[in-house]
Every structure is written in structure tokens, then in C-alpha cells.
Amino acid sequence: MTSATQGTRRSGPPLLETRDLVIKFGGVTAANNVSMQIEAGRNLAIIGPNGAGKTTFLNICTGWLKPQQGKVFLEGEDITTLPPRKIVQRGVARAFQIPQLFTEHTALENLLISAAARDGMRNPLQSLHRIRQRDEMMHLLDLVNCADVADRTVVELSEGQRKLIDIAVALALKPRLLLMDEPTSGVASSQKHEVMEILVGALAEAGVTSVFVEHDMGIVARHADEVAVWNAGNVQLRGTPDEILEHPDVIRDVIGEEVA
Amino acid sequence: KPETLKIGMTTFLTGPASVFGVPARDAMDIFVANLNAEGGINGVPIEVTYIDEGAGAEALTSEFRRVAQSGGAEIMLASISSGNCQTIAPLAEDLQVPNLMWDCGTQRIFEENEYDYVFRTQGNATSEMLAAVAYLLKTNPDFKTIAVVNQDYAWGRDSWDIFHTALEVMKPDVEVVGEFFPKFGSPDFSTEISRLQALRPDVILSTSWGGDLDTFVQQSFQRGLMNTSTFVLPLAESSLERLGPSLPAGHIVGARGDHYFLHPERRDDADFQSFMEQYKEATGDIPVYSVFHASQAFAAMQAAYEKAIADNGVDWPSEEQLLAAFEGLEFQGLGRPLYLREDNQGVESQLMGTSAQTGDYPFATLENIMIFDGDGLLPPIGETSIEWIKGLDASFVDTLQVETYDN
Amino acid sequence: MLDTSQRSAPKLSDKAGGLRSTRSLLTLAGVLLLAAVPLIAPSMQLLINLALAKGLAVLGVTILLRAGQVSFGHALFFGVSAYVGAFLMASMPQADLILVLIAGVAGAAISGLLVGLFVVRYRGIFFGMLNLAFSMIFWSILEKFYHITGGADGIRLARPTVLGMALERPEFEAVLFYLSLVLMVGLGWFTLRWFASPVGQIFQTIKTNETRLEYLGLSPKRVLLSGYLLSAALCGVGGSLMAMTQGVVTPEYVWWVRSAEMVFIAVLGGAGSVRGAFIGALIYEIVRVYASAFAGDIWQLLLGSFLLIIILFAPGGIMGIADSVMNRRSKSQPTNLGEDAQ
Amino acid sequence: MNLTIFLLALFDGISYAALVFIVALGLTLIFGVMRILNIAHGSLYAIGAYATVSLTGFFLALGFSPIFAFPLMIISAVLVGMLLGGPIEWLLLRRIYDKPEVLQLLVTFAVFMILEDAQRLVWGTQPYFQASALQALGNITLFGVTYTVYQLILLPLVAIGLLFGLRFFLRRTVIGKLILATTEDREAAQSIGIDADRVFLFTFIVGAVLAGLGGALASPTTSILPGMGADMIVLSFAVVATAGLGQIEGAAVAALLIGLGRSFAVYVWPEVAVLVPYLIMVLVLLIRPQGLFGSPVARKI
Amino acid sequence: MLEFRNVTASIGIIEILRNLNFRVDAAETLALIGRNGAGKTTLLRTIMGFTKVSGEVLFEGKPLTPLVPAKRPGLGIGYSPEDRRLFSAFTVEENILLPADAARLGAVETQRRLDKVYDVLPELKEMADRPAGNVSGGQGKMVALARALMIGTKLVMLDEPFQGLAPALALRYADALRALRDADRSITLIITESNPALLRGFASRTLVIERGEVSDGSLSPERKQP
Ligand SMILES: Nc1ncnc2c1ncn2[C@@H]1O[C@H](COP(=O)(O)OP(=O)(O)OP(=O)(O)O)[C@@H](O)[C@H]1O
Ligand SMILES: Nc1ncnc2c1ncn2[C@@H]1O[C@H](COP(=O)(O)OP(=O)(O)OP(=O)(O)O)[C@@H](O)[C@H]1O
Ligand SMILES: [Mg+2]
Ligand SMILES: [Mg+2]
């Protein structure tokens, strides 16, 4: 896979940096002076109450929304005003809270298209199913536990299956940075850990930096190197999972008493 | 000698131009039935296949070809729309099937190309427009301003071109104050009428036909425009019955030839009267000019066969003999006699009149009718109409042969 | 999870393989049958030639349907190409058939690029109506500048030479017929391959999710434009062939009803199906000509009813019917997922 | 262009726009709610006109006063909606709501073809004209130009009435809300208890009535002849697209732009009059890609 | 209350659920669990009438199958779909009120129910006037839940209601739902949920769906007597 970020820590600009992001929707402030630095090679979990602005943050980082103030940098390059595709071309991929798939294509085709988009399309008359990345993509499907539905069209899949395939599609781009919005919500709890385990392993092996929004604290505790807590458009706290998950504010606002 | 003489006829059975196409077909059915009742042409009965021009150019060409080739038609009658004429004429020539252009107005056909198999059994736009100009100048010599409201397609444009060119040389002091080309099939002329009311031209020309003409005249009538300007409507003969009382007295009406159900020279003839009755019985309407054009094509066909049979002393003519018979053929439909010129162009007289509400009919009839001889209204062979007209002058009107009738 | 799909997947593709070969055989038979038309049914030759020309244009519309976009103005490219041919013949009476074709297609492609750059920003009804608007603007130009374009009468198109030879009508028509046939097979094959290729597949994702497309690093507009160009060029091929077959071009070539008709045929054949485009065009033209020949003034009614029946009872179009007939025959084992799981 | 001419063009534009709006309104409604571009709308328009002419002719022949033409217009429109609109939705469209939109479009195209011939079979090919309603209201003269009261005053009033009536109905009434919900998500609407089938049937009938009413109101001003529907439908399409999806205020503004554009073109530059609807559409969409009143589709991701 | 007799449900030509036989008693709280793609959502959609069914689904002893989907909410069935399906043309509160409008409940009854819903989901009150199209993923789930409670007087079906909710909130809702059920013994709940922790001590019975078939989950140890 990619080699760009093999070295985990380098001096120089952080992989992704935001400075003082502000965005308001009418009366709602979804980002309020958000400044974040995301170092290469780490898994960052973002947690926070509903409506705190987590998805909005991913939207801004990938160019879907333009902040009213502030800037986004990718390895020092200002990408604030770039459209999503330009940012994706720079090695950022994203999986969505609500899966974004080509619903009339099969699961495998979704991945093959992703691979074709990644590597460029050389022979215009070669069948998509024959491209050389096919095995690689089957492997990816396997990784997210969906190999058995490879030939099913997406409309025929259940919500959980779609979420997993959505992640695989993002992964197929071989990004340097992978942003995932609640990757395990909708995935049956019996599969959650298994899938995350394999996924995180694969990401580490490929040296992919990941940021994932998550509501399942079990997952956060197990798979995040670092946790950021969002609240009302702000980064309230940041630290290791242990620190954060014990923090009384977090327990009160996010985790809830009982499970803790 | 064939068992039946098969002919094919293209006509509009659908679409807006079916106002002409359907009456022509109804008339054709009557002509054929009448002739077959008398035993047909030299004992051969006639059978017509109709092709709908409204079905589009592909269907038309395919059908034309099918009828002409595998359908075994010996002679074709095509067509109404000038676009279709342009398509069919070379096709007929290539297929080597004699084709009578029975209702095709564009003067370009024989001016731009030569044909051996294509004949026109009527006049053309040039003769029709020149007759209108001549009638206008004779009856209304003092007008100063004119405006035109024509349909925005080839006929509307071409006919104005001819009319305008003629006016420029025959009455150079006339000012054109407005030129409107609303789109074909326009449902509303209110804006044009408002504009015309503000402009107040002495004369308003419209060569429109069918629903467009009806709507334009009706709306003009409702809004009083017809009281202030004289309308020149070279195709209004085909709308008389429908317009009813909305076409008041004093406006100029033409008929694309000498076509009028009260044709002053023909109305007392027995064949004319009996056809009018038959037609009325079959359709409930009075015939419009396309019926006359159909009668001319039918007459030309019959005359050609009879002439070829007589000339050659055969039972049934070969194709060459038939074609030879068309040279200079003379024939007569429901109007005056016609003949074919050397360039295969028919020479047709032109009837113009002024509307009058006499009370004899629930619609306007014509008075002060003039029938112009067709000879003077066509350019000499080899000359294009516009060039020829540019060389004319004010004295042209006086050179025309014309008969005048009160009604 | 239903693991049935895994088991049935190879079966499905076996069956697809079987279907594919039946289909290729039938296609081959169909092409051969068409190739024999001038010999066995010469009176059908012109009709079929016109239908093939139209089928190529319909193929252009079909391409856009695959991206979920319906254009009500593709007759524009059909007409541009036809008029380019007519003007070329008028200024260069000795021009060759191949030259006319190439010039026409180039004209269509260039106008496709110009219009495309603008319309690819829009989707759905806006896309459809803007295409209509451009075709109607062109139509009005053809009608207005009648000194140049011949207005509604159009322009006659003399017979071009064929590889330098001047041919009489019958020979020329034979050449055109087989040329159309070859183009149908060649371009049809190309389009099939293109659909299956990564580029073509990406083009088809416009229909379902542009957000994901953007997040794959691709520009939906550019992707749509590429297909738009191809579709315009195909319409151009059809237009050139039609113009040379008819020997005359008129503004009717560009009239919106003709665009609508193309969409209609595309769906009749089976929306998005390459073979369907041609089969649809053939059936449409034949039904239309015979309906208008034998039912004079109610042909539209018959054609409309025929289409209604197809849409209601076989929404997959004629190709859908063909497929289900073949399916039924090749249904040796049940492929229903549910049954498998038992 | 002096002030008088300007005003004249304005009057003409408004009265034309009123008619276009009334016809386009039904189309916009159906499109907005059902996402079906109803090509048969043109035929319903034409049949509304034919029906009015026939009914009026019949009753006037019985000796009724011309003022009866007005109720007959409404009767014709309702007949068109009930007898044609209802069955089209009920028998044809309902069966294919789960199919691609383009199929629904084509069903209406097929119906259009059938109705075009049906009209000719019933009413023949000759144009009809029946202007009693228009004559009953008389003329007024402004700046030396005579207008019919019908076109200059009645049509715009009806158009404004329909605009506000329909707006109120959709925004302020419960049924209107349920219609809007169904528009957005048919299945979700059903799962909260909205009878989507009834909503669609009702909408289609109302749309068809409006088409018929357009024809009925147009009938005294124009010749009724085969093919009149085809022209109207393209114009209405342009209005719908310019307006923005299903936006009735947008339809009003678009109709007005097109009406005024056309009448000013006739005064200033008659050559482009035919092109006006298309030029306006292109211009509007260039500036506002979602149409005049449409809002950009916000995709939630 | 609700009974499945030999029900086989299919989408298109594909059978998704096969041969289901089970019953749900009044005032039960049934948890449906199963892996992704097992058929949980399909089961709920079958009760709503969105699949093709053979066999019989009885609701309060009467067959449901002849009723079109739109008639079913009128029986007191509320449904919160997994993918939210809010009407973005309306505000949050209008979305919640729509089922009441469709059932023509009348102003008083509507207000009564709305108050009750806000008691359960107080967070929604402050977003009442925001357009439903703009709320966040979790907020959308809350609105869908509220909408189901509005009309579901007898049966409330929640498809992964806590999906995407922050745990603190999810816990509170679980409590609130439990309170609601305890307060009104006429309500039957069917919940699909992938986090069993949230349903612990709440569901009276668990039904496991696997490959479109219901296994013996009814004997689940978590079963509690009502
Ligand atoms: N429209 C459809 N066409 C064909 N198959 C479908 C369709 N919808 C769902 N399926 C299939 O039916 C099965 C059950 O799907 P369902 O959505 O009910 O699962 P689920 O248990 O709710 O899963 P999840 O927890 O992921 O939401 C899945 O295997 C899915 O692929
Ligand atoms: N396009 C928009 N227009 C208006 N408001 C918006 C828009 N997008 C988000 N919001 C609002 O901004 C706030 C933050 O939304 P966001 O989707 O970022 O929340 P989140 O943290 O991802 O929540 P969840 O965990 O529920 O997904 C919410 O209150 C939401 O309603
Ligand atoms: Mg979110
Ligand atoms: Mg589910």
C-alpha cells in the first residue's frame, strides 16, 4: 500500500491541521473555533453528544462545507477552499455516517470503481470486472466481513452491510488519511469488534492515519490512540482513551452513568 | 393492361395541415368512385393508397417507396408540404415513377432542378402572390402602408419575399411598417394585434392558413382591427366557412388558384354542381382549394392516360408513352382548364375577390371577383421568380389578362 | 447472514454465461438477417436503413439514460450533423461519403462539447429541458435564416461519391445500408464494451451517487461530459446517415418531438440496453409505418397503445421480454435465493 | 420605445402570461408532487378547449345566453379531470410508481399520442372557434388600442386567484401538508398513515382539471385544432423548469417573464419572439441552477 | 396482539423471511436481534406492509395483510425506520405532528400526545422549529422515534432506535421508554437493536433472527414475566 506515511512521526507540519474553524447554521453553531492537529500514524477517535458538530468537522476537513472562518491544512497546504475531489486526490478518504454507495452496482463493483478511480483508467475497453485490482478488492470485502455479498446490488443490502462496504470503498482508495463517521453504528454488536479489529490492523499495517467518530465507548477504548471530545461545536478535551473515558464531564455528557 | 390502375397519394391525414389533407382525400374518394362507376380509364378501375404526410419524413419516404415499388403504383400524387416536395421530387425521379405534385406551393422545385418524372398540376407561390398583388393594386391603388403577419416557416417567408419584391417594383412608395412572423401554430396574436393597432397600416397581409389564419382573423375582428385596415388574405378561401361572421365585408380573399365553390365561370356547369352536392353530402362542408387541387391532379392523370392511349393506339400506355403524354398536357378539374409548361410547371388561373356578408350564407362570400389568366403570372422558363419580378414595373398589372365578375 | 448468495453466485454467473452466449448467437442471427434484407425484402431496405440510422441516435440517448439523465434535445446533434453534411455537399459537390460522415460527426461532437459544458451542471428535468432549449434554439435558427438554411423546406443533399465513385441510387443505397449495418455492429460493440469498462461504469454512477463519486476524487461534471460527448457523437452518426439516406435535411430533424421519440424508442427497446436501441428503433419504425399505412389517421393511437402495453406489461422493454423468454428456457435450476437456502 | 408602447406591451404580456400560467400550474403541481412530467397535459388542455366549445355551442343553440359559457368552462374542466385525469392515474400511472421515472414519463407520452388521435376522431380536423364568452364581456380601449376585457382583465384575475388559492391550499391546509409529505417520500408517508394512492389520484385529478381549465379559458381566444396541445406542452415545460421543481410561485414568475419577454420581443425584436421561452430558461438556469424559486438540494451526508 | 402464521415475506422475487411463526402478546417488549442482513428490518417492514407476504399476519386477531400500508398506522402502529426518513420540507415539530394530521386526531388529542412525546424526548423541544433536513444523524433518529410514539398507541416498532446516539442519551431514552411502557400497559414495543446492553432488563423477550428465520429466541433467558 502507500508509502507516503510509513514513518509514523516526522517533524514538519502535522498531517491535518485546522485553525479556528467557525461555521454557523442559522442559530446553530456547529463549529466554534475548532483548532485541531492530527499527527500521522495515529488513530484518533472523536466522541461527543449528538449534534455537537462531529460530522460537520469532517465535512469541513474534506471540503464539503466551507468554514465561515478558519483554515484547513493538509501537510501544510491550505485546502480550505478545495472541492472534496481535490482533497481526496491528495490522499484523504472518507466513510460516511449514512453510507454513500452506488446503489445500483454490486458491492464488489463499488470497490472496483473505487480502485479504478484511484489508479486511473488505462484501457477504455477493458471490463471493470477484469481489472487487475479485483483480487485486492475481494480481499478488502473480506476484511469487512462482506465477501459473501460481493455480487449483491447495494439496494439489496441491509443497513449494516452498507456501512461496512462504505468503509471498504474508502479504504480501496489507499488513502493516507481515512475519516470514518460512526463506522460501527448499525453494525451488529456481535460483529463490531471483530470488524474493527481487522480494520484497525489493516490500517496500521498500511500506515494509514485514521479519524473516526464513534459512540461506542468499547470500540473507542480498544482501538483509539487518542480521543477528542466534541461539545457544542468545540473541542472540549483531548487525551488518551484512558484519561478521557474516565473524565467526569465526559461521563456526564457522553457516556452516561450506567455503562461507565 | 393492368387489372386496376394503382395510384398513391400523399396527404396530411394528421397534424394541422389535415385541414387541407382530409378534404382532399374525401374529394379524391369521390372522383375515383365516379370514374370507376363509369368503368375507369379505358376499362381499368382506379385504386388509391393514401400516405399520411403527418407521420413524418421517414414514414413518408418509406411508404412512398413501398407504394411506388412493391405496391405497384403506376403514378404517385405527392405532396402538400413543400419540405416533403423537396424530399419526394428527387426520390420519384430516382425511382422513375411519374409523380404529380398536386398541392405543392414552393416555386423552387422547377427553378432549381430539372425533372423528367415530376409534374406540377397547379400554379405555384409566384403566380399566387402576384395575383394577390395585382388585385390589391387594382382595387386599392392608394394605400401607403402595409404590414405582414405570416407563419414562421418557409411558406410564410417565401410568400412574403415574393409579395414584397413585387410591391417594391410595382408600387415603390409603399412603406412596410411591420413584419411579424409568429411561430407556426401560434395560439395567440394579441400582441401582434396591439402592435398593429398602434401602427395602423392601410393594408395587412397574411398568407397564413388553417387555425393560424382563423385565430388571427377572429382576434383581429374582436378587437376592431378589421375596421381600420384592409386585410389581404391570399389563402382565406379555405377558411371562409369556419370564419363565419368574423370576416366582415371589404377584405381581399384568395384561393391559391381559381378555386371557389361559387366559381363564376363554373358554378352553372352540371359536373361542377353535381360534385358540390356529392361533396356536401359526404362531408357536410363546402369544398376548399385543396379539393380543387386534387381534382386537377386527378384530371391531369386521367387526361394523360387517355391522351397516351389515343396517341399511341394502345390498350394501355407504357411508362414512356405516359410521360410523353404529360408534355404540354391540357386538363381541367373543377376550375378553369390548365396546361403543363415545358418545365413541367402547371399554368393555373388565379381567382381573387373581396369579402361580403350577403346573408345568403352564414359566412362571407366573394364579390368583385377577378380571375387572372395564369400565363402572365409565371416567370419565363429558366428564370427564377425573384429575379424576374425584380425586372418588372408598375405597368405589369395592366399586362395581365383578367375577367371581372360582381360575385 | 444469508450465505446463500455465495453459493448462488457462481450459479448466477453460469447462467449469465449461458445467457450471454445465447444472446450473442441471437444477435449474430439478427445481424445476418438484417444483412440479407436487401436480397430477401428489398422493399424494406429503406425503412430499415432509416431505422438503423435512428437506432444509432437512440444509442446516444441510451447512454445518457444509463446515467439516469433524460435529454429532450438530442435531436440537436442529429440535426447538426445532418446540416453539416448538407452544407458540405452544397459547397463541395464532389465530397465523399466518408468525408460527409466524418464532418457530420465532428460537427455533432463539437456542438456536444459546447452544449455539454453548459448542461452537465444540471440534472433531472433541468438537464432535459436545457437540452430541449438548445435544440429549439437551433431549430429556430434553421427556420429563421431561411436564406441560408432553406427554412422549413430544408436543403437537398446530393448523393456524395463513395470512395471517389459516383453511384446511382440503388448502388448508393446498398452502400449506405451496409455502412449503417457495419456502424451499428461496430458502435454497438464499442458501446457495450464502454459500458462494461471502468470509465463507463463510473459514468453510470452519476445516476445513483454523485457524492461518493466526488469522494473518489472524480468530478461528476467531467464524468458526465465524457458520456455526453459520446452520446452526441453517436447521434451525429445517426444524423449523417439519415441525411444521406433521405437526401434532404429539414428543421424537423431537430424538432423536439424527434428528441422525445428517441427517448421513447430507447425505453421501448429496454432503457439502457444497446441492442434494445436498435431493436426498439426497428420495431418502432415498422409499427409506425405500417400503422400509418393501414390505419391512415389513427396510427398515433395504435402506436401509443402499443407502447403503453409494452411499458405496462414489459417495463424492461423489448430486451426485457427477450431476456425473460430466454431465462425461462434456460431455467434448469432454480436460482431464487430463498429456494436455495432450504 | 415610448411609455405608451411600453404599457401596451405590458398589457399583452400579462394577459398571455396569465393563460400560460394557468396551464403550467397543473403541470407544475403534478410534477412537484408526483415527479412526473405529464406530457398528456397538452392533450388534456386541448380536450378542455374542445369540450368547452362543443358544450357552449350546444347550449347556445338551445337558446341559452352567452354568459352560460362561463359555467360551462368549469364543467368542461372538471369533466376532463374526472373522466380523463382520474383513469390515467388510476389505470396506468399507479401501476408503475415503483419503476424508473422515465417510464412514467413515457406512459404519459403514449397517452398523449392516443389522445391526439382520439381528439381528431371525435372533433375532426377542422378548426373550431367559439368566442361567445369573450364577446359577452366586451372590449375596452386603452391608448387607442382595443383590448378584450376577457383577456386583459378576466384571465389575469383567474390566474392570480388560482395562484393564491393553490398556495393557500398546499401551505395552510392539512391536506396540503400531507400532499407535500407524500411528495418527498412516498413510503415514509405511507408508514405514518398517509394514503399516498389517494394523494396521487387527487393531485393528478386537480392537475388535469387545471389543464382542462386552461384549455377552456383559452378556447374563446383561439382556434381549437389538432396539435394545439403539443405546442402548449413545450411552453409549459419551459415554465416548469424555469420555475424550479414544483414551485407554483416560480411558475407564476416564469410565466410572466415568458409572457412579457414575448410581447416585448414582438415590439422590439420580433425575430426572437419564438425563442423567448428558451432564452429565458437558459438565462434563469445559468444564474439560478435550481430554477427561480427552487432551493438547492441539500444532501445530508 | 400480533401473530405471524407461516409468514414468508419477499422483496421482488427474493424471499427474505421464511416461514415465521410467532406471537407477541399485549404489553410485551420484544427485542429482535440478529446479525447484519438477518432480516430484522424486513420483519418490521412486513408488519408495515412493504413486502410481499404469503401466510397470515394477525393484529389483534384481525388479518393485516388486506390492509394497504397507509391504513396500518391508523390501527395504532407507530414505526421508526432505521434510516430515519424525515420529511425535510418540514420542521422537526411538523414531522412529529404529521402522523396526527394524517389520522385527523384533532387539536386537543394531538397536543396531549405531543406533550407526552416531549416528556420522553425533551431534547427535541429546543429544535422544534429547525428544518428536519438539517439535523444531525443522531438528532434525526430522535425525531423518527418521536414520530413513531406520536401514532403508536398500541404497537411501537423501533428499528435500531439508539443507533448513532451518544451512549448517555441512549441510556436516558431506554429509561424513558421503559417508563413509558410501564406507565401505559397497553403499548407493545418491538425493538431491533444491536446493543443488547441497552435492552437489558427492559425487553421482556428476545427473538433471534438468523438468515430470515426466527430461531428459538422466545426461550431466551432474558425473558421476564410482564
Ligand atoms: N430490496 C431488497 N432486495 C433484495 N434483498 C434485500 C432487499 N432489502 C434487503 N434485502 C436482503 O434481505 C436481508 C435482510 O435485510 P434486513 O435489512 O432486514 O436486515 P437487518 O437484519 O435489518 O440488518 P441490519 O442490522 O444490517 O440492518 C439482507 O440479506 C438483505 O441483503
Ligand atoms: N446543513 C446544515 N444546515 C443547518 N444545520 C446543520 C447543517 N448541518 C448540521 N447542522 C446542525 O449542526 C449541528 C451539528 O451537526 P453534526 O451533523 O455535525 O452533528 P454530529 O456531531 O455529527 O451529531 P450526530 O452524532 O448526531 O451525528 C446540529 O445541530 C445540526 O442540526
Ligand atoms: Mg454525525
Ligand atoms: Mg436493519
Interval D7-35: pLDDT, tens? 888 999 999 999 999 999 999 999 989 88
Nearest CA in chain D to B213: D223
Query: How many structural domains does chain E have?
Result: 1
- Picking from D265, D42, D233, the residue whose alpha carbon sits closest to that of residue C129 is D233
- Cell numbers at D190, concatenated: 405511507
On the question of pLDDT at B96 being above 70, the answer is yes
Residue numbers in E near A25 (CB within 8 A)? 134
Cell of E181: 411502557
Per-residue pLDDT for B231 more than 80? Answer: yes
Ligand 1 neighbourhood includes A156 CB (under 6 angstroms): yes
Pocket of ligand 2 (CB under 6 A): A 25, 28, 30, 48, 50-56, 97; D 298; E 134-139, 164
Q: Phi and psi for B106 in degrees, rounded to 5?
A: -65, 130
Whether B143 and B272 have beta carbons less than 8 Å apart is answered as: no
- pLDDT single digits (tens) B233-242: 999 999 999 8
User: So what's the pLDDT on residue E225?
Assistant: 35
> What is the distance in angstroms between the Cα of B229 and the nearest Cα belonging to chain C?
27
Instruction: Indicate yes or no: CB of E99 within 8 angstroms of CB of D192.
Output: yes
Distance separating alpha carbons of residues C234 and C238, to the nearest angstrom: 6
Query: How far is Cα C261 from Cα C265, in angstroms, rounded to an integer?
Result: 6
What lies within 8 Å, CB to CB, of B318 at 6+ separation is none
- pLDDT per residue as tens digits for the range D255-270: 999 999 988 988 888 8
How many of the other CB atoms lie within 10 Å of CB of C116?
A: 21
Please say if the pLDDT value at position A7 is more than 60: no
| Contact between chains at A187 and E194 (C-beta distance less than 8 A) | yes
- Whether there are 3 or more C-beta pairs closer than 8 Å between A and B is no
Judged by DSSP in three states, A151 sits in coil
Q: What are phi and psi of E77, to 5 degrees?
A: -105, 120
Total number of domains constituting chain D: 1
User: Each residue of D267-301: pLDDT tens digit?
Assistant: 888 878 888 889 999 999 989 888 888 777 665 67
If pLDDT is split at 50, 70 and 90, which confidence band does D90 have?
Answer: very high
Q: Which residue has the cell 421501448?
A: C268
Q: Per the CB < 8 Å rule, is E48 touching D191? A: yes
Which class for B382: exposed (0-12), middle (13-18), buried (19 or more C-beta within 10 A)? Answer: exposed
Cβ neighbours for B15, distance < 8 A, ≥ 6 positions apart: B53, B54, D226, D227
A231-243 tens-digit pLDDT: 988 998 899 999 8
pLDDT of residue A11: 62
Ranges of residues in chain E whose predicted pLDDT is under 70: 215-226
Cβ pair D192:E98 closer than 8 A: yes
Classify residue C52: in a domain, yes or no: yes
Separation of CA A30 and ligand 3 centre (Å): 11
Domain count, chain C: 1
Q: Cβ separation of D266 and B191 shorter than 8 Å?
A: yes
Distance CA A3, CA B196 (A): 79
Cβ neighbours of C35 (radius 10 Å): 14
Mean pLDDT value across residues B16-22: 88
User: B331 or C320: which carries more pLDDT confidence?
Assistant: B331
CATH dotted code for A12-81+210-260: 3.40.50.300
Q: Do you find a cis peptide bond into B79, omega within 30 degrees of 0?
A: yes
Distance A62 CA to ligand 3 centre (A): 14
Render the burial of D19-30: b for 16+ CB within 10 Å, e for the rest: bbbbbbbbbbbb
Distance from CA of A125 to the nearest CA of C (A): 5
Determine which residue's CA is closest to atom 28 belonging to ligand 2.
Answer: A51
Identify the sign of the CA torsion B96, B100, B104, B109: positive
Please indicate whether residue E14, judged by its CB atom, sits closer than 6 Å to ligand 1. Answer: yes
The pLDDT assigned to D122 comes to 92
Domain assignment of residue E59, yes or no: no
Examine residue D166 and state whether it is found in any structural domain, yes or no: yes
pLDDT in tens, C137-172: 999 888 888 778 877 778 888 889 998 888 888 899
User: Ligand 4 centroid vs A65 CA: distance in angstroms?
Assistant: 30
What tens digit of pLDDT does each residue of E125-139 get?
999 999 888 888 888
Flag whether C214 is in a domain. Answer: yes
Q: Looking at chain D, which residue has its C-alpha nearest residue E99?
A: D192
Say whether pLDDT at D83 is over 60: yes
Whose alpha carbon is nearest atom 4 of ligand 1? A156
Task: Give the distance (Å) from ligand 1 centre to CA of residue E191.
Answer: 16
Across the range C54-79, mean pLDDT stands at 95
Choosing among C37, C40, C44, C46, which should be mutated to test the B contact, i.e. which has the most B CBs within 10 A?
Answer: C46
The C residues from 115 to 144 touching D (CB cutoff 8 Å) are: 118, 121-122, 124-126, 128-130, 132-134, 136-137, 140, 143-144
Using the Cα atoms of residue C55, residue C57, residue C58 and residue C63 in order, give the sign of their dihedral: positive
Residue B54: its pLDDT value, please?
A: 85
Domain-embedded: residue E60: no
B60-75: pLDDT as tens digits: 888 898 898 888 889 9
Residue C337 has pLDDT above 50, yes or no: no
CB B52 within 8 A of CB D226: no
Residue B98 has pLDDT above 70, yes or no: yes
- Average pLDDT value over all residues in chain B: 92
- C178-216 pLDDT per residue, tens: 999 999 999 999 999 999 999 999 999 999 999 999 999
Residue C125 binned pLDDT confidence (cut-offs 50, 70, 90): confident
Closest C-alpha among D51, D277, D14, D262 to residue D151: D14
* Ligand 1 atom, smallest distance to E194 CA: 25
Give the nearest partner residue to A126 out of C197, C207, C214, using CB atoms: C197
Cα nearest neighbour of B188 on chain D: D222
- Centre of ligand 3 to C-alpha E157, Å, is 24
The predicted structure's pLDDT at residue A3: 39
Which residues does chain A have within 8 Å of residue C209's beta carbon, measured at their own beta carbons? 100-103
What is the pLDDT at residue A126?
Answer: 84
Indicate the helix (H) or strand (E) that contains D173. none
Whether C8 has a pLDDT exceeding 70, the answer reads no
- pLDDT tens digits along B105-157: 888 889 888 899 999 999 999 999 999 999 999 999 999 999 999 998 888 88
Q: What integer is the mean pLDDT of C47-76?
A: 94
List subunits contacting chain C, requiring 3 or more Cβ pairs under 8 Å.
Answer: A, B, D, E
Banded model confidence at residue C3, pLDDT cuts 50, 70, 90: very low
**Residue identifier of the C-alpha nearest atom 2 of ligand 2:** E134
Q: Does residue C37 lie within any of the structural domains?
A: no
Domain of residue C208, residue span? 43-255
Judge whether C82 and C246 are in contact, CB under 8 Å: no
CATH number at residue E36: 3.40.50.300
Domain of residue D140 covers 22-227
Tell whether E200 lies on the interface with A, counting CB pairs under 8 A: no
**C274 occurs within a structural domain:** no
The closest alpha carbon to E164, from A85, D300, A210, belongs to D300
Query: Which residues crowd ion ligand 4, with CB under 5 Å?
Result: A 158-159; E 40-41, 82
Give the pLDDT mean for D146-161: 93
Alpha helices in chain C (DSSP H): 4-40, 42-66, 75-91, 97-119, 124-144, 146-149, 169-196, 198-204, 210-214, 220-246, 256-270, 274-294, 299-313, 317-329, 337-341
Domain boundaries, chain A: 12-81+210-260
DSSP state of D151: I
Domain span at residue E188? Answer: 28-51+72-216
CA atoms within 13 A on the CB side of E86: 31
The most confident of the ranges A217-221, B175-179, C105-109, E30-34 is C105-109
Residue partners of E36: CB distance under 8 A and separation at least 6:
A158, A159, A160, A161, A164, A186, A187, A188, A191, C1
pTM listed for this prediction: 0.88
pLDDT of C334 reads 34
Specify whether the CB–CB gap between E60 and E103 falls below 8 A.
no
**Do E37 and A158 count as a contact with CB atoms less than 8 A apart?**
yes
Say if C300 falls within a structural domain: no
Cell of C79: 440535426
Cell matching residue E67: 390492509
Q: What is the pLDDT of residues D28-79, one digit of tens each?
A: 999 989 888 899 999 999 999 999 999 999 998 898 888 889 999 999 999 9
Residue B331, classified by CB atoms within 10 Å of its CB into exposed (0-12), middle (13-18) or buried (19+), is buried
What is the residue-averaged pLDDT of chain A?
A: 88
- Residue of the CA atom closest to atom 30 of ligand 1: A157
Phi and psi torsions of A18, nearest 5°: -120, 145
